Structure 1
Amino acid sequence: MTDARTVRVEIGVESVAGVRIAEAAGATRVELCTGLSAGGLTPGAALVEAAVAAASTTEIHVLVRPRPGDFRYNDDEVALMRADVARMRELGAHGVVVGVLGEDGNVDAGANTELLAAAEDMEVTFHRAFDVCADPYGGFDRLLELGFTRLLTSGRQVSVLDGAALIARLVALADDRIEVMACGGLRADNARRVIELTNVRDLHAAVRIPVPGLAPGDTEVDFAEFGVPRGFDHFETDAAGVAALCDAVR
């Protein structure tokens, strides 16, 4: 069983405030992005720069994902991702989070090699594109060959507990050649169970709460974030939830 004291926590955030919350709670890393309700998108340079400046101990890892939807990108999109990866390195990010699948649904060796090269000495996480790739075990072998730092996965299930068996198998196959980071509905009340079932040493969660919206005016127009409950406007990082999660694995 993994010693819980060795577990690292990564928090998905969309703001400088989220970075500060994660650091105050003792998180090892944040995954910085925008558009979490759409699975996360590449943040702007100003946000990345501010996040790097705001953090002293917590590492800033930036999601590079040019659009919602699947992870099969054309040449123009891969070129944009490559430029974004290089830009994040220039802005002082500790790492990037990327993932490209080919038209066959498998891990695209060529495109991912380009992104790894652009990252140079940064850590590079392969994100949940793995959870929808056509061949998970073949894809995992390819990630090992390419040299990714870590893999983010829910074990190809919506819930990390439902995917725990596959995650545990990947941890065993990794044999310390790649870090396997578990995610998928992970919170303080199930974190220890996830550790016990999977032997992971890295946990990832986007712990958020909805923010109340303004009283509706005389209009049918609504710009509330997708997925927020009625009467709310958008989500923000939940300070209490993040602190509870980090405390649970100490």
Structure 2
Amino acid sequence: MRVEISVESLWGVRVAVAAGAARVELCAGLSDGGLTPSVGLIEAAAEIAEVHVLVRPRPGGFVYSRDEMGLIVRDIAVAREHGAAGVVVGALTEEGAVDDHCAAFVEAAEGMHTTFHRAIDVSADSRRALDRIAALGFTRVLTSGRCRSALDGAPLIKDLAARTAVEVMACGGVRAANAARVLAATGVRDLHAAPRRPVGTAPGGEVSYAGVGVPAGHDHFETDPDEVAALCAFQTE
């Protein structure tokens, strides 16, 4: 069983490496669902870990303009240039199908791993989307089975994993406490998690002045080393 930890800072990368995570998904803006990280962060992270860079040019849905598609291709090239081992990308048509421009993403990522992200969970048909993802040559797909949690989406995740040679990685509320149940229910061997905890103190200790959803008295989230260690320890059992 392999664990991928999603992080948005060099601290998070170091936490994942120390815990023995198989891979690191590197993002910015996890409170916005994850965005493309800076070049400096990619470069620094790639020096210490196997880094798979999320390439997502903006928050919101996955139907992109021509300019945004071009930017994704450029960012894939930048990630490669600065040491990334893989990229995490995806795009949909207005009808909810996998966009044919994804072929250009795979081509730009030649030699790197390619993960189709949770756009599959808001596609019109996950099974049909997976067939197209496989035909395009993606390495793996990240899914919660169209639910908030991998346990709730387990029947679909299991079906997808049995459908294709593409690696299916389960996500959605995955923690050490439920990892065994997720594995048993889905049949996958790749788990993805982004354990975070609120840190810092806002002025006066009463209100938050930063990231979405940060509790009062805190100013940002950071990777939770205890939960990452517990999950990655399970990986080696």
Corresponding residue to 1:155 among 145, 166, 174: 145
* Structure 2 equivalent of residue 80 of structure 1: 71
Tell me if structure 2 keeps the 8 A contact 1:16–1:54.
no
**Quick check: 1:191–1:249 contact (8 Å CA) kept in 2?**
no
Counterpart check, 1:66 vs 2:66: no
| 8 A contact 1:192–1:249 mirrored in 2 | no
RMSD: 1.4
Deviations 1:122-170 (A, max 9, x none): 0000000000001111111101111100000001000110000101111
Are 2:154 and 1:168 aligned?
no
* SS state at 1:124 partner: strand
Cα shift at 1:231: 1.2
Between 1 and 2, higher relative CO (CA 8 Å, sep ≥ 6) is seen in 1
Runs of 4+ that moved beyond 3 A: none
Please state if 1:230 is matched with 2:219.
no
Separation in structure 1 between the aligned mates of residue 215 and residue 226 of structure 2, nearest angstrom: 20
Q: In the alignment, what sits opposite 1:99?
A: 90
Identity percentage of aligned residues: 59
Q: Which runs of 5+ in 1 are unaligned?
A: 1-6
- Partner residue in 2 for 1:4: none
Q: Give the aligned length.
A: 236
Counterpart of 1:151 in structure 2: which amino acid? V
SS for the counterpart of 1:216 is: helix
Amino acid at match of 2:14: R
The DSSP-based 3-state class of the residue aligned with 1:37 is helix
Q: Is the 8 A contact 1:195 1:201 kept in 2?
A: yes
Matched, 1:211 2:182: no
Q: State the Cα distance separating 1:249 from its structure 2 match.
A: 3.0
CA distance in 1, matches of 2:25, 2:166: 18
> Are the aligned partners of 2:202 and 2:209 in contact in 1 as well (CA < 8 Å)?
no
TM-score (norm: length of structure 1) = 0.92
* Secondary structure class of the residue paired with 1:224: coil
Which residue identity does 1:90 align to in structure 2? E
SS at match of 2:203: coil
2:222 partner letter: E
Cross-structure match for 1:134:
124
2:109 alignment partner in structure 1: 119
* Equivalent in the alignment of 1:9: 3
d(CA) in 1 for partners of 2:31, 2:70? 25
